[in-house]
Amino acid sequence: MGGLRFPSGPGSDPSTSNFGTDDIGWTPIMEEAQRATRVLHPETLELPRPTRRRVITVANQKGGVGKTTSTVNLAAGLALHGLKVLVIDLDPQGNASTALGVEHRSGVPSVYEVLLGEINIADAAAQSTQSKNLWCVPATIDLAGSEIELVTMVAREGRLKEALNSEAVEQLAPDYVFIDCPPSLGLLTVNAMVAAHEVLIPIQCEYYALEGLGQLLRNIELVQAHLNPALWVSTILLTMYDGRTKLADQVTAEVRGHFGDLALRTVIPRSVKISEAPGFGQTVLTYDPGSRGSMSYLDAAREIAERGAERKTA
């Protein structure tokens, strides 16, 4: 792209830009070109560094909503712009570890040993193949039975929080920590909520989108009341949006009507490329940087970074 500089967005005054010499207005093609440039050349866009570390739990007990996909791609989007990001894979399936190219066979240092207090997070974290700024604490099959073991432990709900508050984390010094939860509301998810400052809830644009969401919100309220008063729902991310269907627009409108500004402006489209990427041990940002899915996740990551961690008040 060389020295081209695009206008800042729709409605920009073309006379203030360096895009050619003609007075041309903002067009959809120019907008897509700007977004593609941000994906292919992320160094051209600086994202604000948070004033304090942001710990974000990505949760939804309903499976298949794009929870893990959103976790790894948002993390990768932030890391591509120079922010240090740590992903904690708290799902025994280990899908986040797979997408980030991190080994998670039984026996490798993992979040299981971290929860039991046998090793610290820095010892378990492995650098992702996707970015030098991206690290992952993998989940192995050993994690599947961890909830039974945690039941008998002292302060079982705060094991992950204790690990994240240790000095060992400063060896990595992440700006963001994303915790990928299992699709359930068990002790692992409670640990994630106790350790976090924020909850990000992915909601797919389909008929049963809001099914079970009430129970998740009630659980968040219980954690707020008894274990982590600082926790709050900071972000709603709409996923699997199919613009060809009226249903997708109806669900989007309903979610925005209910959650207001908590819902990101960016929606994640239903995309074959997004689905294919984990099979190659990659995020969609590296698998197909110019795809609509990649651009959308980059836009969503930018929104999250620009919003900051300040709690919105009514």
What integer is the mean pLDDT of 114-118?
A: 93
* Residue among 136, 142, 73, 71 at smallest CA distance from 106: 142
Question: Is residue 43 predicted with pLDDT exceeding 70?
Answer: no
In a domain, 27, yes or no: no
User: 260: domain CATH number?
Assistant: 3.40.50.300
Residue 223 or residue 21, greater confidence: 223
Q: Is 287 a residue whose pLDDT tops 70? A: yes
Does a structural domain hold residue 179?
Answer: no
What integer is the mean pLDDT of 46-61? 92
Confirm whether 146 is domain-assigned. yes
How much is the average pLDDT of 2-29? Answer: 43
**Range from 20-29, 122-131, 153-162, 247-256 carrying the lowest mean pLDDT:** 20-29
Higher pLDDT, 22 or 47: 47
Domain count of the fold of the chain? 1
What value does the mean pLDDT take over residues 103-115?
A: 93
The whole-number average pLDDT for the span 63-69 is 89
**Is 60 exceeded by the pLDDT of residue 181?**
yes
Q: Which of the pair, 306 or 243, is modelled with greater confidence?
A: 306
Q: Residue 35 pLDDT > 60, yes or no? A: no
Query: Per residue in 245-262, pLDDT tens?
Result: 898 999 999 999 989 999
Q: How far apart, in whole angstroms, are the C-alpha atoms of residue 140 and residue 224?
A: 29
In a domain, 245, yes or no: yes
Q: Which residue has the higher pLDDT, 150 or 235?
A: 235
For residue 195, is it within any domain?
Answer: yes
Mean pLDDT of the chain: 85
What average pLDDT does this structure show over 266-292?
A: 93
Residue 254 counted as domain residue? yes
Residue 40 domain flag = no
67-79 per-position pLDDT tens digit: 999 999 999 999 9
Q: What range does the domain containing 165 cover? A: 59-174+185-307
Q: Which pLDDT score, from 0 to 100, does residue 44 have?
A: 54
Res 39 pLDDT > 70: no
9 in any annotated domain:
no
